[in-house]
Chain A
Amino acid sequence: MNKRWIVVWIGYGVLLGLLLTIPLFTDEAYVFHILCLIGINIIFACSLNTILNIGELNLAHAAFMGIGAYASTLLVMRFSFSFWLAMPLAMIAAAIISLAIGFLTLRFKGAYFLLFTFLFAELVRILLSNFWIGLFGGIPGLTNIPRPSIQIPWLFHMEFNSNKDFYYLILVMVVITVFVMRRMDQSRLGMVFRAISQSETLTESIGISSMKFKILGCAIGCLFAGLAGSLYAHFVRIITPADFSIHAVLTPIAYVVVGGMGSVFGPVIGTSFLMILSHFFLREFGLYELLLYGVIIVLIIRFMPEGLISLPRVIAPWFGKLSTRERE
């Protein structure tokens, strides 16, 4: 058991080493652009997974990412906050709004949360597109969002202007997110979430207030959605209401489901697999790109419903058969 633990940590180390040394192999801005987007989507998919873990689907999750993005942008551009202060504030803003929604909706059973979040997602999009245009910028959104920089006087100065520099920032944030998710998954809190998603009645029967923990789970998820939004805004430098509409949450749901719901690394694998596939391989198919993408998702769900993370378990019996045949 102890040895396995060491192997796993070596595995993490090698993976992290590879990710850190990517800049040695390539210099193309496009590659780093996609890598950064993959990182942001991994954070977003992980946060979505947190909410799926309590057995609910948040169709407004992209809207919470939008709240994070707009909050962070407005704090930096209109109120000249530093990015490093605006980012946590944006996360908190998303979490606080999700608390209010959680209080209103998680009291009810069934598809209620799903329906309510659907309405909320559309309401946010409509409000951002058509009202207070002076502040939110209307349908064209906000542009020229500054990239962050670190400045410690006389000692250190770094601007995240190029995609390559931003890649390191995103990498750090992804590692932090995955670390937090992993710790949470193994803690008592993670256990309570899993228990709730399996049977709410049973969980309540042993004295755990499932509503309280569901609201908490929802808020934690939205906290990281806010982080993803803030990073997205300062990376892409243009945000529009359409980026955070109901349709924007469907692709990340596919990432989570294709990777494997409920596990910590499922969303990471799913996001990386599908985004690399669509940005580096399917590009050449032009009109057929989206078609192939849809077909691949449908096929994976149809034949591997527990996601890519179950691949070793699906393949293992084949190798088992092979080895027994050899023995014979």
Chain B
Amino acid sequence: METTLLLQGGLNGVMLGLNYGLIALGLSLIFGIMGIVNFAHGEMYMLGGYVAYYLVGRFRINFLATMIAGVAIVGLLGALIEKILFRPLTTRPKEALTSLIAAVGLAWVLQMLAVICFGELDRNVPSAFKGIIHMGGVVITKERLAAIIIALVLVSVLTLFLMKTRIGMAIRAVAQDKEAAALQGIQVSRINSLAFGIGCALAGAAGVLMAPIFCVSPFLGGEVILKAFLVVILGGMGSIPGAMLGGLVLGFIESFGSLFFTVPTVNAITFVLIIIILIVRPQGLLGHE
């Protein structure tokens, strides 16, 4: 009985952790490349959730097609936002702060637009994968298993893209040194747009994945951005494996912690733990100096 409980907690932790990792990955990518703390990142997750609500819930479209649509819609929106709002800010003094406030303003605008367009009620999204699987006493719903698998696939695809393709190499080059990258003939502004789009798309993908498991509401963003922030701090700014490891650590802490303690205690323990990690290792678990 005890072991099944632990396994169950572990599986839930993996699912939560992978999705925190997905969201944080986007946040970390955007910060690593453009130096922007994207406070509107949670709203991208929320928009992904609404894509799922309308396509799966209303129009009964296949979940994988919805996934692709969600990634495309939120990704394009992100690239557009970068072009219209953030790019003009990057050449100005104190750009980090101005872009932070621009992102906060954007988050409010998106949130209120969502309230006006979609209504402020919580929406349930029907599950695309029905049924449960028994694995030696451990019970997992198919949708949670699907969430785990799809998240793993997305992270692997992104890693391959960043490591193996020329564009991926260009993105990493810009993250390392903008000027040197520009000298090599890389168009930094295009890479910025692309990276911002990809970052937002990841949050959107997580939104689509989580929509059937949790509810969708216009106010999701505020909670999610805090979690993503924690994960990025824990894993290290700008590190892909760091974001995933950070996500998993947070997922496990939340999932196991809630088996033994009350939620506030878990939260307090999490924060104290992360503060201690940060004091001992300021660059995060897998971050570079």
Interface residues of A (CB under 8 A from B): 52, 57, 104, 108, 111-112, 114-116, 118-120, 122-123, 126-127, 129-131, 246-247, 250, 253-254, 257-258, 261-262, 287-288, 290-291, 293-295, 297-298, 301-302, 305-306
Which of A57, A127, A291 counts the most chain B CB atoms within 10 A?
A: A291
Given contacts A119-B233, A126-B264, A287-B115, contact A52 B97 (CB under 8 A): yes
B278 touches A115 (CB 8 A): yes
Query: B186: CB under 8 A from chain A?
Result: no
Q: Looking at the complex, which one of A119, A250, A302 makes contact with B104 (CB distance below 8 Å)?
A: A250
Determine the chain B residues whose CB is within 8 A of the CB of A126 once the complex forms. Answer: 264, 267-268, 271
Instruction: Describe B's contact surface by its main secondary structure.
Output: helix
Residue on B nearest A293 in the bound complex, by CB: B108
Residue of B at shortest CB range from A120? B275
Bound complex: CA of A130 vs CA of B265, how far in Å?
A: 8
Are A123 and B271 touching (Cβ within 8 A)? yes
Looking across the interface, which residue of chain A has its beta carbon closest to that of B113? A291
Given the contacts A119-B275, A119-B278, A298-B106, A131 and B268 also touching, CB distance less than 8 Å = yes
Q: Is the CB of A294 within 8 A of B109?
A: yes
Please tell me the number of chain B residues within 8 Å of chain A, measured between CB atoms: 42
The answer on a CB contact under 8 Å between A257 and B113 is no
Interface string of B81-117 (1 = CB under 8 A from A): 0000100110011100110111011111101110110
B94 partner residues in chain A, CB cutoff 8 A = 261-262
Contact of A129 among B101, B264, B275 (CB under 8 A): B264
Q: Give the contacting residue for B275; candidates A123, A250, A254; CB below 8 A.
A: A123
Q: Are A257 and B98 in contact (CB under 8 A)?
A: yes
Docked-complex contact A250 and B39, CB < 8 angstroms? yes
Interface centre among B94, B97, B279 (most CB of A within 10 A): B97
Residues on the A chain within 8 Å of B245, using CB? none
Q: Are B226 and A305 in contact (CB under 8 A)?
A: no
* B273 CB, min distance to chain A CBs, angstroms: 10
Verify A302–B89 contact, CB threshold 8 A. Answer: yes
Q: Does B198 make an interface contact (CB < 8 A)?
A: no
Choose one: B102, B222, B268; the contact of A130 (CB below 8 Å): B268
Closest B residue to A253 by beta carbon equals B101
Residues of B close to A290: CB separation below 8 A: 108, 111-112
- Interface flags, B20-54, vs A, CB<8A=1, else 0: 00000000000100000101000000000000000
B88, B230, B268: the one contacting A302 at CB < 8 Å is: B88
Out of B102, B116, B272, name the residue touching A298 (CB < 8 Å): B102
- Flag if A119 contacts B274 (CB, 8 Å): yes
B102 touches A301 (CB 8 A): yes
A76 to chain B, nearest CB (A): 27
Max chain B Cβ within 10 angstroms of own Cβ: one of A104, A115, A116: A115
Among A122, A247, A254: residue with most chain B CB under 10 A? A122
In the complex formed, the residue of A with least CB distance to B101 is: A257
Q: Considering the chains assembled together, what is the distance between the CA atoms of A155 and B175 in angstroms?
A: 69
